[in-house]
Chains A and B, each alone.
Chain A
Amino acid sequence: MHCYHCHQDVIEPNRYIAEVLGEKRQMCCPGCQAVAQAIVANGLDDYYKFRTEPANKADDSALEQTLNKLRLYDQPELQEEFVTTDDKLSVIQLSIEGISCAACAWLIEKKLSVLAGVAQVGVNASARRALVRWDPARINLSDILAAIEKIGYHALPFQPQQHEEQFKRTSQSFLKRMGLAGIMTMQVMMIAFALYFGLFGNLDDDIRQFLHWVSLLLTLPVVLISGAGFYRGAIRALKAATVNMDVPISIAIWALFIASAKATVLEQGEVFFESVCMFIFLLLISRYLEHRSRHQAALISANMSQYVPVTARLLSEGKTTDCLAKILKAGQVVLVRSGETIPVDGVVTQGKSYVDESMLTGEFSPVVKQAGDKVYGGTINQHSSLTLEVSRPLKEALVNQILRLQDQALLSKPAISQLADKVARYFVMAVLLIAALTWGFWTWVGNPDAFWITAAVLVATCPCALGLATPSALTCAMASLNRHGLLLKRADLLETITNIKVLAFDKTGTLTQGRFSLSAVHNLSAHPQQHILSVVCAIEQHSEHPIARAFDAPTTEQVSDVEVRPGYGLCATVNGTGYRLGSARLIRNKVPEDLQGCNVFLENGNQLLAAFTVTDSLREDATETLNRLSSYERVIISGDAEENVRRIANELTIDEYYAQCSPEQKLQKLQALQKQGKSVMMIGDGINDTPVMAAADVSVAVGGATDLAKNAADIILVTPSLALLPELFAMARLTRRKIIQNMCWALGYNMAVLPLAVAGYLTPWMGVIGMSLSSILVVANSVRLLNKGPRS
């Protein structure tokens, strides 16, 4: 049974139900239920009728906290950075996570537009962004963000990258030039058709001359406006004393145009205006496709640089005030409640708690922190309130030191070879040389058509299809992957992926789930195991330690006299018997040698009853995925303790692993692998992985990764599952095959027609038609990738 909202499996049927479109629907979790109810309550159930993709699973465990945190975005200091004011209205760009199809955009627009004070909402589904205008006197920004949050999307302000505006302008100018060329080409082709085939019967000379002049008039804007980009490119290249594809293109355009114009004015000779127009139009299409794939990738990477301010609760004179972490100074005192992120590096002054430092160290088990211990910004307080004294401002915090390491690593990233450009240069030189020789030869022979033959050579050899071969395949592959939840930040990544030799995995949170679960039970008592587990679950219900989450089965035992001893465990009475449950330090009975590896023990007054091993378990799909990737060299680089890493490595049959690595050491290990000449893909999720991800040839952030990791990664897996990795490789291989096919066809065609053109059998218009067919074939071949995507 599938959840009606997110299409994931429903584990507890009939527990969460919402009425949508007049029928009771099963939901998988309270989150999806709440979102579906909110959507229906707003009269927006059309969303379910017309959506083409399921929604993301709505995780509501932290909804209340998230909503509270959103309040922060109302602070004027913070808004200064990303809100602009326009005629008393505030304007903001939001990046929205969770948009999967056009219906999502509609849903968000409708939901926001009924809020009082919101003046305008525009959601762009392909860029996953929204532009909101609102009246700050009537509604707060946080209320707008909360409204989006309630229907299951996450919206955050972000800072668009600087070059993005330029990308958009280029995009528009491409579209205009392409549209102009397209419309004009249609007209000129129509006239050319008449001229060639004499469809109006025998044309008299007047009409023929008139049609020539009309063609000239219609071609003029195409040559002057649409083709301008090519001339600029050619001039730039010539100024730099080199040649590129634009040079022969410009020569061909102007040669054909001037000659045709001359023929029109002098009223003798042939005209080839339609060839000029179509030539420019087709070339623009290929350039535009290439530009768009890069634009799409840039948008995705910009969306990732969301603005997430870290906040702190400043304690002064017994009162707490919320403030931004970046304004904290050394010596100030900060309160961190249970479940909150520790804002800065500091020293604990009061309280005792468990802190999850896995994102910084990779070490999975939470660390006990009490007065005098150092804590680091970015880690999560899991248990109870802590009071800290700030030891250094955020700028110098450990998180930022790791980020600096990441920046350094990025600088030393291996450069992708520009082979294609080099090949193109030689190709162009060869084309120019052949054209020159052709002209020389036919002039020497005394052929009056020498000029047209040369023009035909330039047109026929135009690497139009060659230019389309790569960008069209990459665009289609990216679009297909995008639809299946793989976001690529650069299109050329697909080419790099096919060269990958080594897969380096982080352990915690990447291969494993990042939370405790029960992996072994040793029953030493005479009671049935069921009974023992039931007792343990009953006691653990009173613990907030993360280990307790491994024992969350429902139980009916009566528990009393619970005493929690932080760092040790719990003492409690169940059905009249006193039990002690916790680490070996709490247990009074002697623990047998062979059970030393266990980390939770249960005893009553007399004897040790049971021992448990509670560990971070593998992600469900990890084993299968890793098996499918067994043709690659697989390595685990983890910050966790040796023993944990070895266990996971054994389970996955991975021979090579490195444990207890600091972010620097991780980076060194990776660079050592790269020094052996291997391309490495790093798959990680935490802050401590970011430097090594930045240095890797390709990096992948697994769903649920920290924002910093998503920022550092080249590829983001939207769903928290590794299963898409093999699909990514398959797609990359398929794409490369398509590119090679395309190139073979394009080059093959050019090679085949070149002798014909040189020999003078080919007129320019035949060259253009051949070139068009060849381009269409290449694009059609690439488009087939769209349907090939990963299995869903």
Chain B
Amino acid sequence: MSILYILIPIAILLVTLAVVVFFWAVKSGQFEDLERHGTSILFDEDKPEADKDNNQNER
């Protein structure tokens, strides 16, 4: 049982880390538009045509 004396403090550290990450996420606006980013993975990166436009526009 004495392993708990090590594991639980580690768990607390991890939880603190989770809270910090969560606060950062809220502060940087990650939760502002939940509708949109759920689907953004579906979209491909720029298609060849769009790339061409980019080059023309020197971006």
Q: Which residues from chain A sit less than 8 Å from chain B, CB to CB?
A: 41-44, 46, 49-50, 101-103, 105-106, 110, 114-116, 123-127, 172, 175-176, 179-180, 183-184, 187, 200, 203-204, 207, 210-211, 214, 217-218, 221
User: Could you list some 14 contacts between A and B, CB below 8 A?
Assistant: A42-B53, A43-B46, A46-B44, A102-B35, A102-B40, A106-B39, A114-B50, A114-B53, A114-B54, A125-B35, A126-B36, A179-B26, A180-B23, A187-B15
Chain B interface, >50% SS class? helix
Complex Cα distance, B34 from A50, in Å, reads 16
Choose from B18, B22, B36, B53 the contact partner of A124 (Cβ within 8 Å).
B36
CB-CB under 8 A from B31, the residues of chain A are: 175
On whether the beta carbons of A207 and B1 are closer than 8 Å, the reply is yes
Residue of B nearest to A50 (CB): B42
**In angstroms, how far is the closest chain B Cβ from the Cβ of A762?**
30
On whether the beta carbons of A116 and B26 are closer than 8 Å, the reply is no
CB-CB under 8 A from A105, the residues of chain B are: 33, 36
On whether the beta carbons of A50 and B39 are closer than 8 Å, the reply is yes
8 A Cβ contacts from B11-59 to A: 11-12, 15, 18-19, 22-23, 26-27, 31-40, 42-44, 46-50, 53-54, 57-59
Given contact pairs A43-B47, A184-B15, A218-B12, A102 touches B39 in the complex (Cβ within 8 A): yes
Closest 8 CB pairs of A and B: A43-B49, A116-B57, A43-B47, A125-B36, A102-B39, A43-B50, A124-B33, A102-B36
Residue of A nearest to B31 (CB): A175
On whether the beta carbons of B4 and A42 are closer than 8 Å, the reply is no
CB-CB under 8 A from A41, the residues of chain B are: 49
Choose from A46, A127, A183 the contact partner of B22 (Cβ within 8 Å).
A183
On whether the beta carbons of B57 and A115 are closer than 8 Å, the reply is yes
Complex Cα distance, B1 from A221, in Å, reads 27
Residue of A nearest to B37 (CB): A102
Given contact pairs A124-B33, A218-B15, A102 touches B38 in the complex (Cβ within 8 A): yes
On whether the beta carbons of B36 and A180 are closer than 8 Å, the reply is no
Given contact pairs A103-B39, A175-B31, A43 touches B12 in the complex (Cβ within 8 A): no
Q: Which residues from chain B sit less than 8 Å from chain A, CB to CB?
A: 1, 4-5, 8, 11-12, 15, 18-19, 22-23, 26-27, 31-40, 42-44, 46-50, 53-54, 57-59
CB-CB under 8 A from A218, the residues of chain B are: 12, 15
On whether the beta carbons of A183 and B19 are closer than 8 Å, the reply is yes
CB-CB under 8 A from B33, the residues of chain A are: 105, 124-127
Complex Cα distance, B27 from A72, in Å, reads 36
Residue of B nearest to A179 (CB): B22
Complex Cα distance, B43 from A180, in Å, reads 33
Complex Cα distance, B36 from A102, in Å, reads 5
Complex Cα distance, B40 from A123, in Å, reads 12
On whether the beta carbons of A50 and B43 are closer than 8 Å, the reply is yes
Choose from A102, A203, A207, A214 the contact partner of B12 (Cβ within 8 Å).
A214
Complex Cα distance, B35 from A559, in Å, reads 57
Given contact pairs A114-B57, A179-B22, A42 touches B50 in the complex (Cβ within 8 A): yes
On whether the beta carbons of A204 and B40 are closer than 8 Å, the reply is no
Complex Cα distance, B46 from A204, in Å, reads 62
CB-CB under 8 A from A127, the residues of chain B are: 32-33
**In angstroms, how far is the closest chain B Cβ from the Cβ of A649?**
43
Complex Cα distance, B26 from A126, in Å, reads 17
CB-CB under 8 A from A50, the residues of chain B are: 39, 42-43
Choose from A43, A124, A184, A187 the contact partner of B32 (Cβ within 8 Å).
A124
**In angstroms, how far is the closest chain A Cβ from the Cβ of B8?**
6
**In angstroms, how far is the closest chain A Cβ from the Cβ of B25?**
9
CB-CB under 8 A from B47, the residues of chain A are: 43, 46
Complex Cα distance, B4 from A214, in Å, reads 11
On whether the beta carbons of A175 and B5 are closer than 8 Å, the reply is no
Besides the known contacts A49-B42, A116-B58, A179-B23, 10 further A-B residue pairs in the complex with CB atoms under 8 A apart: A42-B50, A43-B53, A102-B40, A115-B57, A126-B33, A127-B33, A179-B26, A183-B18, A204-B1, A210-B5
Residue of A nearest to B52 (CB): A43
Complex Cα distance, B42 from A414, in Å, reads 49
**In angstroms, how far is the closest chain B Cβ from the Cβ of A352?**
49
Complex Cα distance, B1 from A203, in Å, reads 9
**In angstroms, how far is the closest chain A Cβ from the Cβ of B6?**
12
Residue of A nearest to B27 (CB): A172
Residue of B nearest to A45 (CB): B47
Residue of B nearest to A138 (CB): B57
Complex Cα distance, B48 from A191, in Å, reads 55
CB-CB under 8 A from B38, the residues of chain A are: 102
Q: Which of A43, A183, A200, A210 counts the most B-chain CB atoms under 10 A from its CB?
A: A43
CB-CB under 8 A from A103, the residues of chain B are: 39, 43
Residue of A nearest to B32 (CB): A124
Q: Which of B5, B34, B48, B50 counts the most A-chain CB atoms under 10 A from its CB?
A: B50
Q: Which of B5, B35, B54 counts the most A-chain CB atoms under 10 A from its CB?
A: B35
CB-CB under 8 A from A203, the residues of chain B are: 1
Given contact pairs A102-B38, A123-B36, A187-B11, A179 touches B43 in the complex (Cβ within 8 A): no
Complex Cα distance, B48 from A200, in Å, reads 60
Complex Cα distance, B35 from A102, in Å, reads 6
**In angstroms, how far is the closest chain B Cβ from the Cβ of A169?**
11
**In angstroms, how far is the closest chain A Cβ from the Cβ of B56?**
8
CB-CB under 8 A from B19, the residues of chain A are: 179-180, 183-184, 221
On whether the beta carbons of B15 and A183 are closer than 8 Å, the reply is yes
CB-CB under 8 A from A106, the residues of chain B are: 36, 39-40, 43
CB-CB under 8 A from B5, the residues of chain A are: 210
Residue of A nearest to B42 (CB): A50
**In angstroms, how far is the closest chain B Cβ from the Cβ of A285?**
14
